[in-house]
């Protein structure tokens, strides 16, 4: 078993399937016994002197077989050639098995040219005594042992682009060297021509062997590989390579970034140093299908520890897929599904090979440490739970170590390879991108919106109708965050029950999920965290247009400081809110309900709204009030870093935060709706959705809304369609006002003419923003449009006999 593991770890990319192109594969079972291989497979086989069917050709036999029931026999004067195409670029793998009976020898060589005899790239001899040797650059540069009367696996990795060769016999790396070398000299042609299957053996021995299961393939190239030799020492990695690297808090060049050093190196002279506050992320793209290999090397100095984890999301801190700790004593452990499920030993002051095989499509993970399979498990699991998201987000290279130990290690030779392809993602298309409708007051109408899917997976979508009021939205502020690494492990409940009841009854609309305050939560070692509840369209639908004017929270132990926070809606494929639209300090009272009156009330638009607070506190205190549970899935969100979680992910903390949103004012008339708020669009299909307008109770004027289409297209997870409604005076009123607009479209100006005196003219864009207002007091007026952007505008004309609204196009 060890040999298989060594083979698998040393050349794990060999298992590549869909993302390796198989050029030729044969188990010889489709031929008849007695057939000559160069006769029945002339596209890939010939003989040394190009005489298929002659004495040099290899015969198909059933005397031995690794897989039922045939192989080819090599004896006498056999000299068959596998034609490999004179490749001058790419990376290739040639795998086959040989069976050498006791007392006999064997041989094969690789030619630099498909036309044989020009340059032997290298030669491999199998001796009758069970030992063999390799000629590469010079004679007998490496030896090996093998077992007669068994099938021996030979793997040849030939990287023409990198001018490198690796030879494995039964899973063991025999030697590696430049491929341009010849068998007996260190010069030659960088080209892959053919394999010579010759009845050869060491001097004085008789050749006889069988060949089976031949596979010749072009290997997948890494999505990313780096030996860190192209950077200068003292440079920060995430600054130099921002396409692939960032830091935990997305602050390249700061203390979380890692320096390039020449203190240790697995290859070349440089590596990445991880110590102090290093918290580096390799961005792997939120892959949702396919099979991947992530391979890298660690050097952990004696007396120190090390760590890495895999994140399910490229945006960190949401789900730890698994964690690996390296201890200062030379032992380590893996947490996957639960804590410390597997342990291992490693050697300090040496380079440790770490291979992660992540099969998202089949939901499976394998972890190898120095060639040994440590553990295998479903990839969708989290480090501490057997549930999670089957998605590959990032590698987190953190200066971590087991409790009480100091981290210090180096990383080198990172390879990220796609071994197998998965289905491509759905691709959403939405037509039109903007919807403009003009109807008479008191009437209704509808238009069609099309959602298409040109991807390779079904498109799942949901539509939320919102009525943004930009004039009342607070300015976005960068969120205050803490820096605790694993939130669920650092949370504690107040051991003393401190019931706090509920706020006094109110006639206002109050949104909440919590019951009476029952206990409180804090970070074990203190620090900063965010607590929030999300109120979805289902909760706010009846209150669109009202204002979030107050937030009520229960504060238990006195914190260091607090800030009320309100966030806009986020993305469905990323847990947590979107941008923060309000942050406000407040003076708190401990062991009491606190009412935070917002300086700038936030308008309820119809989309998700996240309401909560940021709090910083000392160790041993429990400031954040909770009810007695059970939790509501919208009422227990928490973050102590970039990502968001549920408090109840820690099953011992099945509570809701004591957070309540107080709404005041009056709701608006909801004039916009859609015929379908969610659905599935199959691959290649299109779904038409009715967008409905109802001006039954609307006054003449312009109205603005949005259709927010959340979906599972990873490149466009949220599509927003602007909707503009112009409500015009009825036909009889239009006749009364008798307003003319011309020319329409306008270029530099347009004219307004009416039978009645024009009092005022107002021009708005499709966002509902006022562009100009002019007082007229005449029956004709001209508007200068030369400085306006091209597009559609809504114009409202107030006359002494009524109001007229219409659209006008400016070119």
Please say whether the dihedral angle defined by the alpha carbons of residues 293, 299, 302 and 308, taken in this order, is positive or negative. Answer: negative
pLDDT band for position 15 (cuts 50, 70, 90): very low
pLDDT recorded at residue 465: 96
| pLDDT over 70 percentage in the chain | 93
Q: Is the full-model pTM beyond 0.85?
A: no
Rounded to an integer, what distance in angstroms lies between the CA atom of residue 401 and that of residue 385?
Answer: 21
Rounded to an integer, what distance in angstroms lies between the CA atom of residue 374 and that of residue 127?
Answer: 36
Q: How far is CA 68 from the centre of its chain?
A: 42
| pLDDT over 90 percentage in the chain | 75
Q: What's the Cα-to-Cα distance from 577 to each of 69, 286, 318, rounded to whole Å? A: 61, 18, 12
pLDDT recorded at residue 476: 31
749: left (phi over 0), alpha (psi -120 to 50) or beta: beta
pLDDT recorded at residue 638: 95
Place of tokens 């099938």: 151
DSSP H or E stretch at residue 342 = strand 342-345
pLDDT, tens digit (0-9, with 9 covering 90-100), for 596-639: 999 999 999 999 999 999 999 999 999 999 999 999 999 999 99
By the 10 Å C-beta count (0-12 exposed, 13-18 middle, 19+ buried), 242 is classed as: exposed
pLDDT band for position 588 (cuts 50, 70, 90): very high
**Bridge-partner residues for 408, per DSSP?**
275
Q: What is the CA radius of gyration of the chain?
A: 35
pLDDT band for position 504 (cuts 50, 70, 90): confident
Residues 6+ apart with CB under 8 A from 479: 530, 565, 580, 583, 614
Please say whether the dihedral angle defined by the alpha carbons of residues 20, 22, 27 and 29, taken in this order, is positive or negative. Answer: positive
pLDDT recorded at residue 40: 97
Rounded to an integer, what distance in angstroms lies between the CA atom of residue 158 and that of residue 659?
Answer: 62
Maximum alpha-carbon separation in the chain: 118
**Bridge-partner residues for 113, per DSSP?**
none
**Bridge-partner residues for 412, per DSSP?**
297
In this structure, of 227-241, 474-488, 577-591, 674-688, the range with the lowest mean pLDDT score is 474-488
Paired sense of beta strands 434-440 and 718-728, if any: parallel
Residues 6+ apart with CB under 8 A from 570: 576, 577, 578, 608, 610
pLDDT, tens digit (0-9, with 9 covering 90-100), for 254-284: 999 999 999 999 999 999 999 999 999 999 9
The token duo for 20 is 């390796």
The token duo for 611 is 């309401």
pLDDT recorded at residue 319: 93
Rounded to an integer, what distance in angstroms lies between the CA atom of residue 394 and that of residue 310?
Answer: 6
- What's the average model confidence in pLDDT over 649-663? 95
Q: Closest by alpha carbon to 297, among 368, 234, 361?
A: 368
Please say whether the dihedral angle defined by the alpha carbons of residues 95, 99, 102 and 105, taken in this order, is positive or negative. Answer: negative
Q: Closest by alpha carbon to 377, among 388, 490, 760?
A: 388
- Burial of 204-239, coded b for 16+ CB within 10 Å and e otherwise, reads ebebbbbbbbbbbbbbbebbbebbbeebeeebbbbe
**Bridge-partner residues for 142, per DSSP?**
134
φ, ψ for residue 723, nearest 5 deg: -120, 125
Residues 6+ apart with CB under 8 A from 218: 20, 21, 23, 90, 91, 92
Rounded to an integer, what distance in angstroms lies between the CA atom of residue 807 and that of residue 243?
Answer: 45
Q: Closest by alpha carbon to 488, among 649, 373, 621, 624?
A: 649
The full length of the chain comes to 811
The token duo for 287 is 């892959």
Q: What's the Cα-to-Cα distance from 384 to each of 319, 341, 388, 488, 646, rounded to whole Å? A: 10, 10, 10, 9, 14
pLDDT, tens digit (0-9, with 9 covering 90-100), for 143-166: 999 999 999 999 999 999 889 999
Rounded to an integer, what distance in angstroms lies between the CA atom of residue 772 and that of residue 782?
Answer: 13
Residues 6+ apart with CB under 8 A from 355: 9, 12, 293, 294, 295, 366, 367, 368
The string of DSSP letters for 1-52 reads -HHHHHHHHHTGGGG--TTSEEEEEE-STTS-TT-BHHHH-TTTEEETTS-T
Q: Closest by alpha carbon to 316, among 393, 399, 416?
A: 393
Q: How far is CA 519 from the centre of its chain?
A: 37
pLDDT, tens digit (0-9, with 9 covering 90-100), for 73-129: 999 999 999 999 999 999 999 999 999 999 999 999 999 999 999 999 999 999 999
Cis preceding linkage at 789, omega within 30 = no
pLDDT recorded at residue 177: 97
pLDDT, tens digit (0-9, with 9 covering 90-100), for 162-198: 899 999 999 999 999 999 999 999 999 999 999 999 9
Q: What's the Cα-to-Cα distance from 629 to each of 22, 503, 513, 516, rounded to whole Å? A: 57, 18, 10, 10
Cis preceding linkage at 536, omega within 30 = no
- What's the average model confidence in pLDDT over 674-692? 96
In this structure, of 54-68, 542-556, 561-575, the range with the lowest mean pLDDT score is 561-575
The token duo for 653 is 């903390």
More confident residue, 249 or 470: 249
Q: What is the mean pLDDT of the chain?
A: 90
In the 8-state DSSP scheme, what is residue 255?
T
pLDDT recorded at residue 484: 45
Residue 141 has pLDDT above 90, yes or no: yes
761: left (phi over 0), alpha (psi -120 to 50) or beta: beta
The token duo for 58 is 């290899």
pLDDT recorded at residue 2: 19
The string of DSSP letters for 628-672 reads S-PPPTTS-EEESSSS-EEGGGSTT----B-EEEEEES-PPP--E
Paired sense of beta strands 151-159 and 164-169, if any: antiparallel
In the sheet where 79-87 sits, what is the strand order? Answer: 45-47, 79-87, 192-198, 106-111, 120-126, 131-135, 142-145
pLDDT recorded at residue 517: 95
Q: Closest by alpha carbon to 164, among 121, 126, 196?
A: 121
Distance between the two ends of the chain, CA-based, in angstroms? 75
């Amino acid at each position: 078993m060890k040999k298989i593991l060594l083979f698998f770890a040393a050349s794990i990319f060999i298992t590549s399937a869909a993302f390796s192109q198989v050029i030729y594969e044969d188990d010889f079972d489709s031929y008849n016994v007695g057939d000559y291989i160069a006769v029945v497979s002339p596209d890939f086989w010939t003989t040394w002197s190009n005489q298929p069917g002659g004495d040099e050709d290899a015969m198909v036999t059933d005397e031995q077989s690794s897989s039922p029931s045939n192989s080819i026999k090599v004896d006498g004067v056999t000299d068959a050639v596998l034609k490999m195409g004179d490749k001058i670029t790419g990376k290739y793998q040639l795998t086959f098995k040989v069976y050498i009976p006791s007392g006999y020898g064997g041989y094969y060589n690789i030619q630099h040219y498909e036309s044989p005899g020009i340059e032997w790239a290298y030669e491999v001899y199998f001796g009758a005594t069970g030992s063999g040797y390799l000629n590469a650059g010079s004679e007998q540069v490496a030896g090996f042992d093998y077992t007669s009367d068994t099938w021996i696996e030979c793997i040849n990795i030939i990287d023409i682009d990198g001018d490198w060769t690796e030879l494995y016999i039964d899973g063991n790396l025999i030697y590696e060297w430049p491929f341009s070398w010849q068998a007996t000299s260190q010069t030659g042609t960088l080209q892959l021509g053919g394999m010579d299957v010759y009845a050869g053996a060491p001097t004085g021995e008789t050749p006889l062997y069988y060949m089976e299961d031949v596979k010749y393939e072009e290997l997948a190239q890494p999505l990313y590989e780096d030996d860190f030799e192209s950077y200068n020492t003292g440079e920060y990695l995430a600054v130099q390579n921002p396409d692939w690297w960032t830091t935990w808090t997305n602050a390249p060049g700061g203390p979380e970034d890692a320096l390039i050093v020449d203190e240790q190196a697995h290859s070349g002279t440089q590596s990445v140093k991880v110590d102090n506050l290093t918290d580096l992320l390799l961005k792997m793209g939120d892959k949702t299908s396919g099979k991947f290999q992530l391979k890298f090397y660690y050097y952990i100095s004696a007396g120190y520890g090390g760590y890495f984890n895999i994140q399910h999301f490229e945006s960190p801190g949401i789900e730890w897929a698994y964690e690996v700790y390296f201890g200062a004593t030379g032992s380590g452990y893996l947490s996957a599904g639960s804590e410390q499920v597997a342990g291992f030993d490693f050697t300090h002051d040496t380079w440790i090979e770490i291979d992660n095989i992540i099969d998202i499509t089949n939901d499976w993970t394998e972890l190898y440490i120095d060639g040994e399979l440590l553990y295998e498990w479903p990839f969708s699991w989290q480090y501490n739970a057997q549930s999670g998201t089957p998605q590959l987000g990032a590698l987190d290279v953190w200066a971590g170590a087991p409790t009480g130990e100091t981290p210090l290690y180096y990383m080198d030779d990172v390879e990220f390879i796609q071994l197998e392809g998965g289905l491509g993602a759905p691709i959403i298309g939405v037509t039109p991108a903007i919807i403009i409708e003009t109807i008479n007051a008191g009437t209704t109408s509808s238009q069609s919106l099309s959602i298409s899917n040109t991807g390779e997976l079904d498109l799942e979508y949901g539509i939320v109708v919102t009525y943004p009021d930009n004039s009342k939205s607070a300015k976005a502020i960068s969120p205050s965050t803490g820096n605790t690494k694993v939130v669920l492990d650092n949370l504690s409940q107040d051991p003393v029950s401190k019931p706090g009841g509920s706020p006094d009854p109110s006639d206002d609309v109050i949104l909440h999920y919590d019951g009476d305050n029952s206990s409180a939560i804090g970070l074990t070692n203190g620090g900063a965290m965010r607590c929030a509840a999300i109120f979805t369209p289902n909760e706010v639908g009846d209150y669109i247009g009202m204002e979030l004017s107050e937030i009520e929270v229960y504060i238990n132990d006195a914190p260091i400081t607090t800030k009320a926070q309100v966030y806009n809606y986020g993305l469905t494929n990323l847990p947590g809110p979107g941008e923060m639209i309000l942050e406000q300090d407040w003076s708190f009272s401990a062991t009491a309900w606190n009412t935070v009156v917002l300086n700038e009330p936030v308008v309820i638009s119809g989309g998700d709204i996240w309401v909560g607070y940021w709090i910083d506190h000392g160790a041993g205190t429990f400031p954040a009030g909770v009810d007695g549970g059970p939790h509501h899935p919208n009422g227990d969100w928490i973050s102590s870093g970039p990502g968001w979680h549920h408090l109840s992910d820690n099953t011992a903390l099945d509570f809701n935060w004591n957070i309540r949103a107080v709404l005041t004012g009056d709701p608006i008339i909801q004039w916009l709706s859609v015929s379908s708020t969610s659905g599935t669009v199959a691959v290649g299909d299109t779904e038409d959705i009715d967008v409905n307008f109802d001006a039954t109770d609307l006054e003449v004027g312009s109205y603005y809304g949005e259709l927010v289409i959340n979906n599972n297209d990873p490149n466009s997870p949220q599509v927003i369609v602007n909707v503009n409604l112009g409500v015009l005076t009825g036909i009889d009123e239009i006749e009364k006002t008798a307003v003319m607009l011309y020319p329409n479209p306008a270029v530099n100006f347009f004219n307004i003419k009416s039978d009645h005196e024009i009092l005022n003219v107002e021009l708005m864009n499709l966002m509902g923003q006022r562009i100009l207002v002019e007082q007229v007091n005449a029956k004709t007026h001209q508007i200068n449009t030369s400085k306006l952007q091209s597009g559609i505008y809504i114009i409202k004309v107030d006359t002494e006999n009524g109001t007229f609204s219409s659209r006008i196009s400016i070119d």
